[in-house]
Chain A
Amino acid sequence: MNEAGVYGMVAEFGDATTLVEAATAIKQQGYRQMEAYTPYPIKDLHEIIPGSNFVPPIVLVGGLIGAATAWGMEYYIAAIDYPINVGGRPLYSWPMFIPILFELTVLFAGVFAFFGTLALCGFPRPHFPLFNLPEFSGATSNRFFLCIERGDLLYDSESTASFLQSLNPIGVWEVEDI
Chain B
Amino acid sequence: MPESIALEERQRHTARPLDPNNPLEVVAPGTTFETVSEQISSIVLTRKTPLFWWCTFGFGLFLFVVFGISIAYLLAKGIGIWGVQIPVAWAFAITNFVWWIGIGHAGTLISAFLLLMNQGWRNSINRFAEAMTIFAVMCAGMFPLFHLGRAWIFYWILPYPNTMTAQPNFRSPLVWDVFAVSTYFTISVLFWYIGMIPDLGTLRDRAAGGFKKGFYGVLAFGWRGSSHHWRLHQTACLLLAGIATPLVLSVHTVVSFDFTIAILPGWHSTIFPPYFVAGAIYSGFAMVLVLGLPLRAVYGLHNLITVRHLNNCGKLMLVTGLFLAYTYLIEPFTAWYSGNDFEMYTVHNRAVGPHAWSYWLVILLNVVIPQALWFYKVRTRVVPLFTVSMVVLVGMWVERFMIIVTALDRDFLPSSWSNFVATFWDNAMFWGSIGMFIVLFMLFVRFLPMIPMAEVRELLPFSKPGGGTEK
Contacts and interface: CB of A to CB of B under 8 A. Distances in A.
A93 interface: yes
A125 B169 CA distance: 44
Interface stretch (B147-155, B236-244, B330-338, B410-418): B236-244
B227 A49 contact: yes
Interface string B210-240: 0000000110111111111111111110011
Interface stretch (B20-28, B61-69, B171-179): B171-179
Nearest to B470: A15
Interface residues of A, number: 69
Interface in A1-47: 14-17, 19-21, 35-42, 44-46
Contact of B223 (A20, A103, A140): A140
A35 B33 contact: no
A137 B206 contact: yes
B240 A103 contact: no
B198 interface: yes
B170 A74 contact: yes
Contacts, number: 218
Interface string A108-132: 0111011011101111111110110
B141 to A, nearest CB: 15
Contacts of B37: 39, 140-142
Interface stretch (B263-271, B391-399, B460-468): B460-468
Interface string B249-284: 010001001000000000000000000000000000
Interface in A68-117: 73-74, 77-78, 81-82, 84, 86, 93, 96-97, 99-100, 102-104, 106-107, 109-111, 113-114, 116-117
B171 A117 contact: no
Interface residues of B, number: 73
B187 interface: yes
Nearest to A97: B170
Given A100-B175, A140-B202, A41 B234 contact: yes
A56 interface: yes
Nearest to B202: A140
The listed residue with most B CB atoms (<10 A of its CB), out of A16, A56, A63, is: A16
Contacts of B217: 126
A61 interface: no
Interface string A122-165: 11111110110000111111100000000000000000000000
Contacts of A104: 179, 183
B258 to A, nearest CB: 11
Interface stretch (B160-168, B316-324, B352-360, B372-380): B160-168
Contacts of A166: none
A17 B467 contact: yes
A45 B167 CA distance: 53
Contact of B224 (A55, A81, A82, A139): A139
B179 A77 contact: no
A118 B240 CA distance: 14
Contacts of A125: 221-222
User: B165, B244, B464, B465 — which one has the most chain A CB atoms within 10 A of its CB?
Assistant: B465
A131 B224 CA distance: 9
A59 interface: yes
B34 A142 contact: yes
Given A15-B470, A49-B228, A130-B224, A39 B33 contact: yes
Contact of A16 (B171, B191, B467): B467
B194 interface: yes
A16 B227 contact: no
A51 B466 CA distance: 23
A139 B454 CA distance: 11
Contacts of A38: 225, 227, 230
A16 B463 contact: yes
Contact of A78 (B171, B183, B226, B464): B171
Given A130-B224, A142-B37, A113 B236 contact: yes
B221 A118 contact: yes
B294 interface: no
A35 B226 contact: yes
A140 B204 CA distance: 9
B201 interface: yes
A14 B457 contact: no
A141 B45 CA distance: 14
Contacts of B232: 53, 55, 117, 120-121
A77, A102, A109, A140 interface centre (most CB from chain B within 10 Å): A140
Contacts of B182: 107
A42 B187 contact: no
Contact of B34 (A36, A99, A141): A141
B433 interface: no
A123 B222 contact: yes
B458 interface: yes
Given A38-B225, A121-B229, A139-B225, A15 B471 contact: yes
A140 B205 contact: yes
18 contacts: A16-B462, A40-B198, A51-B227, A53-B232, A53-B235, A63-B243, A82-B166, A86-B171, A99-B250, A110-B187, A111-B190, A113-B236, A123-B223, A127-B222, A138-B205, A140-B37, A140-B223, A142-B34
Given A40-B454, A46-B231, 5 more contacts: A42-B463, A107-B179, A110-B183, A128-B224, A140-B202
